[in-house]
Chains A and B, each alone.
Chain A
Amino acid sequence: MHLIFFKVAAIFYLLASIVYVTFLLRSESSKCLSGFGFILAGLVAHTISIVHLFIAEGFFAMATGFDALSLFAWLVVAIHTTIQFRDPNPVLGSMAAPIATVLMLVASTLSYQITQPIVPVLKSWWLPIHVSFALAGNAVFTIMAMAGAMYIFQERLIKRKKIGRFHRILPSLETLDTLNRRALPIGFFFLTLGIISGALWASSAWGSYWNWDPKETWSLITWFAYAAMVHQRLALGWRGKKAAMLALAGFALVMFTFIGVSLLFVGHHSFVSLALRMVPA
C-alpha cells in the first residue's frame, strides 16, 4: 500500500521537475505554478506513504536505506514547501524537485523489505529518533546548499553585469543570504541532536557512548565543520559569497558522511547488501 503512494509521489516529483526545468529554460511564470502544484500533490502522497509505513511496521519504518532516502526526500520537499509559502520563488523548486526525484529513484532501486532477521539492537525507539534528527539536519543543509548555489550564480551575474532572464528569476542576494543565516543554526541543531541521540542509543545498546565507527568519525568532522561555520557567521560576520561557498562545501561533506561512508567503510551504520548487518562494538 505505502509503495503505491511512494510511486505516486515519485511520479509527481518527476512531473514537478520537468515543469520546473521547462520553466527555467523558457521562464514562463504560469508553468512554475503547476510545478509547485505537483510538488504539493507529491508531498501529500509521500506523507501518506510514510505514515502508512510507520503504522504498519512501527518503529522499524526507518530500518532500511530505502526508508532513509525516502524520509530524506520528504524532508527536503517539506522544508522547500514551507519556504515557498513564505517567500515564493520558482528557482528553489527547480532545484528541490529534481533532488527529491533522484532520491526517490535511488530509493526505489533499494529493497524496502527487511530480508534478514532484525538485529535486537535496532528494536528500539532510538532508531526513528536518531535517524529523523540526522536526516532533518541533512535536509536543512541540502536546502542551504541550494540557496548557496543560487547566491553564487546570482552574485556572479550582478558582478559581471550580465543582467538577463536568469537574473530576474533568481531571488535577491539578501533573500538568499537570509536563508543561509536562518538555516545554518537549525541544521546545526538537528545535526547535534542526531549525534547526541546516536551516542545515547549506543550507550544503551552497547554501554559505550562513542565507538569511533567511521560514520561517527565523519559525523564528528561534519559537526566541527558546521560549528566553525556557525562561528564564522556569528562571530566574524562572514556572509554573502563566503557563506554560500561554505554551505556548498559543507554539503559535500554531509553527502560523503551520509552515502560515501556507508559505501566505503564497514561499521554500525553499514547497510551491506542493503539488509542489516550489525557489527557489535
Chain B
Amino acid sequence: MIRPTHDFLVLGINHNTAPVLIREKVSFPGNHDGAITRFLTQTGGLLECIVLSTCNRSEIIAVTKDPDSSAENLIRLVSEIHGLNQDRIRSYFYIKKGPEAVRHLFRVTSSLDSMVLGEPQIVGQVKEAFRRDATANTTGPLLNRLMHRAFFTAKRVRTETGVALSAVSIAYVAVELAKKILGDLEQRQALLVGAGEMAELTARYLANVVKKPIRIINRTFENACMLASQFEGSADSIEKLDDALAMADMVISSTGSCDPIIRFQQMKAVMRRRRHKPIFMIDIAIPRDIEPEVNDLDGVYLYNIDDLQSVVEENIGERRLEAEKAGGIVDQEVNKFINWTRSLEWAPTIVALKEKFEEIRTNEMSKMNGKLGSLNEAEKDAIEILTKAIINKIAHGPISFMKQSIKTKKINQHVDFVQRVFGLDEFVSDTEPEDAKTSEYEIDHRN
C-alpha cells in the first residue's frame, strides 16, 4: 500500500481498571485550554487527539499511524506528567485499537461504560472535551467524524432504549414516586419529622424540588428551628405533629426514636381530617418511625428505606436489560463507521484511477486533433461525450470491485491489486489522505 494507514487508538483508565487512588492521580484537571492535549499530540507523534477526563475515567482518544508505539509513548508521557512510575501504572491502562477503539468510545458516550449505567452527564463531558480540543486544533477529519458518530449513537441509545429511563438513586426514586402520586411537586407541602443529619440531607434535596417552605417538626424544638432557619422553612414542636400531618402532602420521617411516633390509629384520624387527600410518607429512620400498617389506610402511600432500595435495585436490573439492546445499536453504528473509514482507503485510488483515465483520454484526443479538424463543433462535442462515456464505463468495473471489498474485509488487497493493474502508484502518492475525504464519498456512506 502506498497510502499510510491511519488507526484509532484509545488509551485510558476507568473505574473498572483502576482504584480511585490511581484514577485521581492520572486525571487531567488542568486541561481547560487543551494545552495538555496539544502537548500529547505533538510529543506523542499523534495525528489527532482528544483528552477526556471525568471523575471515573481518563482517556486519550487518538488517530495515529502506529497505534502500538503511540500507546507506549503515551503511557510514558502520562507517567512523566504525573510523576508516576510507568511500570507501576501500566497495568491499570487499557489500550484499544481500530474498531475496538471506536466501539469503546461509542459505548462510553452512550453511557454504557459508566459506573451508573445510563447516567446522563457523560455525553456533555465528552462534548465538552471535543469542543475544547477542536478549538485547540488537535482534532482532524477522522476524529471530527468519529465524535459526531459517537454523539449520534448516544442519541439513538437514549431514544431507542430505556437505559436512562428508570431512577437509580434512592432520592431520585422517592421524587419520581412523589410525582406519580401528587403530580407537580412545586406547590406541595413537605414535612420533615426529625432534625438530624438525615433530615438535613433530605431538606437540602427537597429544597430543589419543592418551592413551598418546608415544615420541620422535632422533639427538641431548638434543633427544628436551627434546621428551619437554614432552609427558610418553619419549625414546630412535636405536639403539633397531627396538625402538620393533616396539612402535608409529603412526609419524610427520620427521628432517632425507638418507638414508632406515627401510629395506625393516629394516622387514621389524620386521614379523616384530610378528607382522604393522598399523602406520601417516607420512613428513612431505623428503627422505623411510622407503623407499617399505616400503608393500609386509603390514600396513604408509605415507603421505608428498604422499599425504596428495592425499587432502585429493580431499576438497575432494568437498565442492564436495556443496555443489552443498546449494545446492538452500538454494533450497528460501529460497523457503519468502520465501513466509512475503509472507504477512505479506496477513495484516493478512485480519484487516481479517474485522473489516469482522463489523462489518457485527453492525450489521445490531442494526438487526433489534426485529423479531426474538419469536424464541426457539434461533432467534436459528440466525440468528447463518447470518449468520456467510454472511460467512465471502463472505470466502473475496478471501482465497484474495490467498493465490494468492504464486505469481504480484504480491502487492502483489492485496492493494492487495482493500483498495480492500472499502474497508479505515482498518482496516489501525490494525493494527500485528507483530500480523499471528498464530499462525493461521504454521501455514499451517510447512512
> A: which residues have CB within 8 A of B?
27-30, 154, 158-159, 161, 163-165, 167-168, 170, 172-175, 178, 237-242
Chain A residue, CB-CB nearest to B183: A174
Mask, B298-309, CB within 8 Å of A = 1, is 110101000100
Contact partner of A161 among B184, B275, B307, B315, CB < 8 A?
Answer: B307
Contact B295 A159, beta carbon cutoff 8 Å: yes
The yes or no answer to B196 lying at the interface (CB within 8 A) is no
Which of A159, A170, A238, A242: most chain B Cβ within 10 A?
A159
Q: In the complex the two chains form, what is the Cα distance from A178 to B277 in whole Å? A: 12
11 contacts between A and B (CB under 8 A): A29-B159, A161-B303, A161-B311, A163-B314, A163-B315, A165-B162, A168-B166, A172-B179, A173-B183, A239-B275, A239-B277
Number of interface residues of B (CB under 8 A): 28
| Known pairs A161-B310, A240-B276, A240-B299; A154 contacts B159 (CB<8 A) | no
Contact B182 A174, beta carbon cutoff 8 Å: yes
Mask, B152-166, CB within 8 Å of A = 1, is 000000011010011
Mask, B306-329, CB within 8 Å of A = 1, is 010011001100100000000000
Chain B residue, CB-CB nearest to A176: B183
Chain B residue, CB-CB nearest to A157: B180
| Residues 267-302 of B contacting A (Cβ, < 8 Å) | 275-278, 295, 298-299, 301
| Known pairs A159-B295, A163-B177, A163-B311; A237 contacts B276 (CB<8 A) | yes
Residues of chain A lying within 8 A (CB to CB) of residue B159: 29-30
Q: In the complex the two chains form, what is the Cα distance from A167 to B311 in whole Å? A: 12
Contact A174 B299, beta carbon cutoff 8 Å: no
Residues of chain B lying within 8 A (CB to CB) of residue A161: 303, 307, 310-311
Chain B residue, CB-CB nearest to A30: B159
The yes or no answer to B246 lying at the interface (CB within 8 A) is no
Contact partner of B181 among A164, A172, A178, A239, CB < 8 A?
Answer: A172
Chain A residue, CB-CB nearest to B179: A172
Chain A residue, CB-CB nearest to B312: A163
Residues of chain B lying within 8 A (CB to CB) of residue A165: 162, 318
Contact B162 A27, beta carbon cutoff 8 Å: yes
Residues of chain A lying within 8 A (CB to CB) of residue B181: 158, 172-174
Q: In the complex the two chains form, what is the Cα distance from A169 to B295 in whole Å? A: 23
Q: A30-B159, A158-B180, A159-B295 are in contact. List 9 more A-B contacts (CB 8 A).
A: A29-B159, A158-B181, A170-B180, A172-B179, A174-B278, A238-B276, A240-B278, A240-B299, A241-B298
Rounded to whole Å, the gap between the CB of B293 and the closest CB of chain A is 13
Q: In the complex the two chains form, what is the Cα distance from A28 to B299 in whole Å? A: 31
Chain A residue, CB-CB nearest to B161: A28
Chain B residue, CB-CB nearest to A158: B301
Contact B307 A173, beta carbon cutoff 8 Å: no
Which of B177, B179, B310: most chain A Cβ within 10 A?
B177
Residues of chain A lying within 8 A (CB to CB) of residue B307: 161
Chain B residue, CB-CB nearest to A164: B314
Q: How many contacting A-B pairs (Cβ < 8 A)?
A: 60
Q: In the complex the two chains form, what is the Cα distance from A118 to B182 in whole Å? A: 54
| Known pairs A30-B159, A240-B276; A154 contacts B180 (CB<8 A) | yes
Chain A residue, CB-CB nearest to B165: A168
Residues of chain A lying within 8 A (CB to CB) of residue B314: 163-164
Contact B303 A240, beta carbon cutoff 8 Å: no
Residues of chain B lying within 8 A (CB to CB) of residue A174: 181-184, 278
Residues of chain A lying within 8 A (CB to CB) of residue B315: 163
Rounded to whole Å, the gap between the CB of B429 and the closest CB of chain A is 49
Contact partner of A172 among B182, B276, B295, B298, CB < 8 A?
Answer: B182
Q: In the complex the two chains form, what is the Cα distance from A173 to B179 in whole Å? A: 9
Q: In the complex the two chains form, what is the Cα distance from A28 to B180 in whole Å? A: 19
| Known pairs A163-B311, A163-B314, A168-B166; A173 contacts B295 (CB<8 A) | no
Residues of chain A lying within 8 A (CB to CB) of residue B298: 240-242
Chain A residue, CB-CB nearest to B307: A161
Chain A residue, CB-CB nearest to B274: A237
Which of A163, A164, A238: most chain B Cβ within 10 A?
A163
Q: In the complex the two chains form, what is the Cα distance from A165 to B315 in whole Å? A: 9
| Known pairs A159-B295, A161-B307, A163-B314; A239 contacts B179 (CB<8 A) | no
Residues of chain B lying within 8 A (CB to CB) of residue A240: 276, 278, 298-299
Chain B residue, CB-CB nearest to A175: B183
Rounded to whole Å, the gap between the CB of A232 and the closest CB of chain B is 11
Q: In the complex the two chains form, what is the Cα distance from A170 to B176 in whole Å? A: 12
Residues of chain A lying within 8 A (CB to CB) of residue B299: 240-241
* 10 interchain residue pairs of minimum CB distance: A174-B183, A237-B275, A172-B183, A163-B311, A172-B180, A161-B307, A173-B181, A174-B182, A158-B301, A240-B299
Rounded to whole Å, the gap between the CB of B351 and the closest CB of chain A is 40
Q: In the complex the two chains form, what is the Cα distance from A239 to B279 in whole Å? A: 13
Rounded to whole Å, the gap between the CB of A121 and the closest CB of chain B is 48
Residues of chain B lying within 8 A (CB to CB) of residue A175: 183
Q: In the complex the two chains form, what is the Cα distance from A172 to B278 in whole Å? A: 12
Rounded to whole Å, the gap between the CB of B160 and the closest CB of chain A is 8
Residues of chain A lying within 8 A (CB to CB) of residue B173: 163
Residues of chain B lying within 8 A (CB to CB) of residue A241: 298-299
Residues of chain A lying within 8 A (CB to CB) of residue B179: 172
Q: In the complex the two chains form, what is the Cα distance from A237 to B271 in whole Å? A: 12
Q: In the complex the two chains form, what is the Cα distance from A115 to B276 in whole Å? A: 55
Q: In the complex the two chains form, what is the Cα distance from A159 to B276 in whole Å? A: 15
Residues of chain B lying within 8 A (CB to CB) of residue A159: 295, 301
Q: In the complex the two chains form, what is the Cα distance from A259 to B349 in whole Å? A: 77
